[in-house]
Amino acid sequence: CDRTGFDDPDVPTCVPLCTPAGGACSGLPIPLVERKRSLWQNTNPEAEPDDWALRNVSLKPHENAIKVRHLAKRAISAITEGQITTYVPAQWDESDGEFDQNFGFPTPLVERVENEETDNTVTNQTEFTNIAFQMGSRGLHGCTMVTVVSNRAVYMGHFWEGPSWAVEIEFRERVINFISGNGIRFGIGPALDPSLFNRAGDETRIYIMHPRRTPTSSSQSHLYRSKLPRLKSMLSRLLPNAPTVLWLYKRLDFSDSEDEEQAENTQSGHALFQFDPNGRGTGNSGWRLFYEEHVFNDTDPPPGADSANGIPDL
């Protein structure tokens, strides 16, 4: 399979990359002069002087706010391990109304223009109020998710595998720069605001969901060997006291009908964050994060240092 245009040796061959096209061996990078509908936020014009003048971008603001939810009237309902397989994919079933009405339909971290997904990075940063909500992405089969959560706010982002991880300059602008707010940035949504996550008592945690090297690799063998450490290092610089949890998931093969069906009907490839202002009852807020079958809660003890290297399979 042709990977012309990708400069990372870790890009998989002959399996569908996690791209808007999503087909087998698809997702060739868009030429610089053809990239459109991207929000260019250049906080440092000298950061990447090599090609920023070539960018054909739109400066039209894009609203990426959490959809208005109703006031929560009940605590977060407990989900057993056996229920995750059906509960998580049901959150994306708007037609039958099977999603959890307490949170409303999830805000998807993917941009759509004329009913087509774009390759933009999409992030969302929300301070907690008295409104319940959920957001996330599904169908992940090579993409990366980043979730930073404190007692006051959450930052969540979806980063396409192609082009964001497969091409070095795209990785800088769509991942590193986009989260940090430095240099040229391509995507939709805000940079991470450390002031929402760095107070004493915030209990901030960083959760990364990234593909493992192969479906049979260990839970500590990540796919993009040079880039993932850079992402973790950048987040640690922004939030030096926040522990990191890394979940390395087994990517599904979207050229295989059984794998596609698994992505549609199970928790595989799903990342979902939920907040409820009455999540712990008696007016106490709570949140939880689903990375496939893994569930992380605000009541969890601080993760250990080894969690940053990859947590084990359940």
Looking at per-residue confidence, does 292 or 264 come out higher? 292
pLDDT value, residue 57: 29
pLDDT at 167 over 70: yes
pLDDT at 297 over 70: yes
Which pLDDT tens digit goes with each residue over 105-128? Answer: 999 999 999 889 999 999 999 999
pLDDT value, residue 259: 77
- Asked which of 90-99, 101-110, 289-298 is least confident by mean pLDDT, the reply is 90-99
pLDDT at 30 over 60: no
pTM to 2 decimal places? 0.84
pLDDT at 77 over 60: yes
**Model confidence at 74, in pLDDT bands (50, 70, 90)?**
low
Computed over every residue of the chain, the mean pLDDT equals: 84
> What does the H/E/C string look like for the chain?
CCCCCCCCCCCCCCCCCCCCCCCCCCCCCCCHHHCCCCEECCCCCCCCCCCHHHCCCECCCCCCCCCCCCECCCCCCCCCCCCHHHHHHHCCCCCCCCCCCCCCCCEECCCEECCEECCCCEEEEEECCCECEEEEECCCCCCEEEEEECCCEEEEEEECCCCCCCCHHHHHHHHHHHHHCCCCCEEECCCCCHHHCCCCCCCCEEEEEEEECCCCCCCCCECCCCHHHHHHHHHHHHCCCCCEEEEEECCCCCCCHHHHHHHHHCCCCCEEEEEEEEEEECCEEEEEEEECCEEEECCCCCCCHHHHHCCCCC
pLDDT at 250 over 50: yes
